[in-house]
Amino acid sequence: MEKKKVIAVAIGLLLLAAVLLPGFVDSPIAGASPAEDFGIISVYGEAVITAQPDSARVVLAVETTHDLAKTAAEENARLTDAVLKALAASGIDEKQLKTSGYRLNSYNQQVDPQNREKYITKYRAYNELTVSLHNLDEIGNVIDTAVKAGANRVISVLFELKEAEALKLQALQNAATQAKAKAVAIARSTGVTIKGIKVIHEEMSGYTPYRAAVEESAQMMDAGPTPILPGDVEVTARVNAEYYF
């Protein structure tokens, strides 16, 4: 019994010493972060890299209307099939084609401007096709071939990059380099010295395809192949960083 009392008293003394004498025992909280007691410089870095596109997506559509939904859908199917066959005959592989949208809907068409309540119901069928191309020289020929075969809407041409990841990493590196340069400039101007980095994280990285809007017409086709000029694709990145001094 006496031995237990001695042990209890000893433990009590050790706990009292830990409270009265900071540092008597190691605390995992003390020194949890090397930058807790330092000042912080918060900056962001961003970078934009432009690159020439090496692939493209041509978005076309066949749109038909009729008083009957069945007829509108059947006419649309006939024209779409003709477009697909024409593209295949021109050398486009089936793997390069996909249906990117289809809808069949009704709408009211006014027949008497003086009487708003007098109208007829029409039906519109819409079939959207996307053609993926690895040779940019084929774009004009694809558009002309599709339009001559029955496509009556050319939505857009998107110029893209096959391998964008390497440029994304380069943009992130450039953004981080800019962030560091900003932090150093701020530190020097205020007479302090950066001791390290506390945290850095990616805010965004990606690229925006160049979108070219195209309007096809009979006059354009009669003049020869539709000219489509590619624009540069932009790869962007942004980081936020905190340095301590």
Give the per-residue pLDDT at 223.
55
For residue 149, tell me if it sits in a domain. yes
Mean pLDDT of 210-218: 66
For residue 221, tell me if it sits in a domain. no
**Residue 227 and residue 144 in contact, taking contact as beta carbons nearer than 8 Å:** no
Taking the C-alpha atoms of residue 93 and residue 90, their distance in angstroms, rounded to an integer, is 9
Number of domains in the chain: 3
Could you tell me the residue range of the domain that residue 168 belongs to? 37-54+161-214+227-245
Indicate whether 154 and 244 sit together in one domain: no
Closest by CA to 175, choosing from 236, 127, 216, 110, is 236
Give the model confidence (pLDDT) of 71-94 as tens digits: 999 999 999 999 999 999 999 999
Q: Tokens 């050398």 identify what position?
A: 91
Of 137, 160, 183, which residue constitutes the final position of a domain?
A: 160
Of 66-70, 143-147, 205-209, least confident by mean pLDDT is 205-209
Indicate whether 200 and 188 sit together in one domain: yes
pLDDT-derived band at 218 (thresholds 50, 70, 90) equals very low
Indicate whether 127 and 198 sit together in one domain: no
Indicate whether 92 and 139 sit together in one domain: yes
Indicate whether 138 and 81 sit together in one domain: yes
For residue 220, tell me if it sits in a domain. no
Give the model confidence (pLDDT) of 28-84 as tens digits: 333 345 546 789 999 999 999 999 999 999 999 999 999 999 999 999 999 999 999
pLDDT at 118 over 50: yes
Indicate whether 7 and 64 sit together in one domain: no
For residue 190, tell me if it sits in a domain. yes
For residue 219, tell me if it sits in a domain. no
Mean pLDDT of the chain: 84
Give the per-residue pLDDT at 217.
45
Task: Name residue 157's beta-bridge partners.
Answer: 58, 212
Indicate whether 5 and 125 sit together in one domain: no
For residue 46, tell me if it sits in a domain. yes
